[in-house]
Structure 1
Amino acid sequence: MELTFLGTSAGRPLPGRNVSSTALRLPPACGAYWLFDCGEGTQQQIMRTPVKLSKLERIFITHLHGDHTFGLPGLLSSRAFAGGTSPVWVYGPPGIRKWIEMTLEITETRLEYELHLVEIEREGTVYEDGHVRISAAELVHRTVCYGYRIEEKASFGKLDVSKLEAYGVPSGPLAGRLKSGEDVTLPDGRIIRSADVVGPPSAGRVITILSDTSPCDNAVMLAKHADVLVHEATFEAGLESKALEYGHCTTVQAAETARKAGAKRLLLTHFSTRYRDERLQLLAEEAKAVFPAAFAAYDLLEVHIPKTK
């Protein structure tokens, strides 16, 4: 799994820093990309990365402010030209359906693939399959805004072929049952334990994406023990009153959420345009004083999230 930051600026773009969007490359078993928010210029950013529009499967919108959505109609249109023919699902707060349908209708945009629009009406699981589950909870902002928690399901360990041969276990259904954690009985009556021929399982990875928000309990809940927490840090420490007024966080408040949640890594994003690139490291240092594993994200940064045993 890998995150690619397509935009880390708040409100409006800067030279070298686009507005909000983050891509998630799923494991090879899934073979797809997901997108979280789609600010203006997102498709241009994608052209500068390995992200493939044709492989884009699901888009999760946190809220309907323009710096998180204005790139969506153009991206949906361009996907067809990029060879995308498989269905796409777009999730977001109430209003996302009306806005997209009306925009596509007025502009006479015809998509060559199925588009499914899902309005999130309540907190909880919004999508689940055999590999991942994604849940949403409402944050504290000036409009309805959701944070997302992506949980990869645990995978079984690697089957040791040499041990199977030593025990005389033939390839096929019996080996498959051992791989899935089940003990089996061979035709000669011997019992082979799965733990004896299968390596340790890999725990599922957890990624939390918290867009515009003031500090709140749901932010901590969504980020609980996350391998990576992506959290907005619109303002520097000391501007807590201003952050609260606009429904945002400071660097230190984001770090406090990461610390309370027991997250492993914190990636700060959504920086106010008052901060030029040379100041981003100073913002990261403010967060590091509270949560040492804090880093400032930047446009086109790719972050690999390894599996843990």
Structure 2
Amino acid sequence: MSIRELVILGTASAVPTRHRNQNGYLLRWDGEGLLFDPGEGTQRQMARAGLSAHDVTFLCVTHFHGDHCLGVPGVVQRIARDGVRHEVRAVFPAAGEEYWRRLRHASAFKDTGVITEWPLSGEEATVPAGELTLTARPLSHPVPSYGYRLAEPDSRRMIPAELERLGVRGPEIARLQREGSVRAGGRTVTLAEVSAPRPGQKAAFIMDTRLCDNVFALAEGADLLIIESTFLTPEAALAEDYGHLTAAQAGRVAAEAGARTLVLTHFSERYGDEDEPRFLAEAAAAFQGEIVFARDLLRVPVPKRRP
């Protein structure tokens, strides 16, 4: 069965709390499982969420601050220990490759050969993901950091009433989809006459960054936007100094980019669950769509396709 959902494994920023594990997000997209920014404790959070190493096909690190990568050794060793046979693509900033090597081989264990490395550099990088496209762009943070965008190709949806009106039925429908045109009712029927564009679904994952052009480029038209909101507006100057966003800025990004569902996460330890209404209110001042205040082990479905 096709599953498209975000499983949130951790929502804390630099310091975990009693109720928040450090970062960790598994985006399940049909047969792919993209594990973003596994922080400390991710392996245990995966077990609590009913996930296994076999669910992971991509291991994506935005940058090498500890709350975004200290779970890498456990995840890698679990992939080896559990005998995962499929390829797992490890994607990370090339500028932090030294840190990747340390994490990848942090302790003695029986290694695995299924992990392939995809270091990122430049203004835009793409990683093959089957029929999907995983794009990365650099962000504005004190250390090299990349955000990610997952997109499926655009396609077309058939319009049953038009197929019937023009007499295209049965196997001819599949042929029309393959070849772009068929003969029916004494004339040539083209695909454009009996179908409409269907935009591919998109998800964006944006962690530690100030506002910059690439934040908006990654978020453009996202059905699901997972974005850091480390601080509230009273700490906006602190956010700018440390290279982070506020909830209000996250809401602005979602609104200007035309996102559909906004997931706020990566909260400073200074805030508790009682501050949830403040985060939601700040984001909602700019963004009128669905807003999710992330909690550990919450599952967020990718919104259904646009009509």
> Which residue identity is paired with 2:268?
S
**Counterparts of 1:254 and 1:10 in 2: how far apart (Å)?**
16
Choose which of 294, 297, 300 in structure 1 pairs with 2:294.
297
Is the 8 Å Cα contact of residues 181 and 195 (structure 1) preserved in structure 2? no
Structure 2 unaligned residues grouped into runs of 5+: none
Is residue 2:208 matched to residue 1:212?
yes
1:33-52 alignment runs, 5 A limit = 33-52=33-52
Is residue 2:12 matched to residue 1:2?
no
Is residue 2:118 matched to residue 1:118?
yes
Relative to structure 1, is the Cα distance of residues 194 and 235 closer, same or farther in structure 2, using a 3 angstrom cutoff?
A: same
Relative to structure 1, is the Cα distance of residues 296 and 106 closer, same or farther in structure 2, using a 3 angstrom cutoff?
A: closer
Higher mean displacement: 104-113 or 143-152: 104-113
CA-atom RMSD in angstroms: 2.7
Show the counterpart of 1:269: 265
Show the counterpart of 1:184: 182
Show the counterpart of 2:305: 307
Relative to structure 1, is the Cα distance of residues 106 and 280 closer, same or farther in structure 2, using a 3 angstrom cutoff?
A: closer
> Which residue identity is paired with 1:270?
H
**Residues 255-301 of structure 1: CA distance to partner in whole angstroms, max 9, x if unpaired?**
12222222222211100011111212322112212223333111112
* Structure 1 position 182, deviation (Å): 0.8
Relative to structure 1, is the Cα distance of residues 272 and 106 closer, same or farther in structure 2, using a 3 angstrom cutoff?
A: closer
Show the counterpart of 1:236: 232
Is the 8 Å Cα contact of residues 70 and 103 (structure 2) preserved in structure 1? no
Show the counterpart of 2:223: 227
Show the counterpart of 1:287: 283
1:95-244 alignment runs, 5 A limit = 95-105=95-105, 107-129=107-129, 131-157=131-157, 167=167, 171=171, 175-180=173-178, 182-185=180-183, 191-194=188-191, 200-244=196-240
Is residue 2:8 matched to residue 1:11?
no
Structure 1 unaligned residues grouped into runs of 5+: none
**Counterparts of 2:98 and 2:250 in 1: how far apart (Å)?**
33
Choose which of 26, 29, 33 in structure 2 pairs with 1:26.
29
TM norm structure 1:
0.87
Q: Determine helix, strand or coil for the equivalent of 2:254.
A: helix
**Residues 174-217 of structure 1: CA distance to partner in whole angstroms, max 9, x if unpaired?**
5533124611237x965344356x66453211211110011112
Is the 8 Å Cα contact of residues 10 and 25 (structure 2) preserved in structure 1? yes
**Counterparts of 1:180 and 1:130 in 2: how far apart (Å)?**
19
> Which residue identity is paired with 1:185?
R
Q: Determine helix, strand or coil for the equivalent of 2:157.
A: coil
Relative to structure 1, is the Cα distance of residues 153 and 73 closer, same or farther in structure 2, using a 3 angstrom cutoff?
A: same
Relative to structure 1, is the Cα distance of residues 299 and 185 closer, same or farther in structure 2, using a 3 angstrom cutoff?
A: same
Q: Determine helix, strand or coil for the equivalent of 2:283.
A: helix
Identity value in percent: 32
**Counterparts of 1:234 and 1:116 in 2: how far apart (Å)?**
32
Q: Determine helix, strand or coil for the equivalent of 1:176.
A: helix
Is the 8 Å Cα contact of residues 53 and 79 (structure 2) preserved in structure 1? yes
Is the 8 Å Cα contact of residues 62 and 147 (structure 1) preserved in structure 2? yes
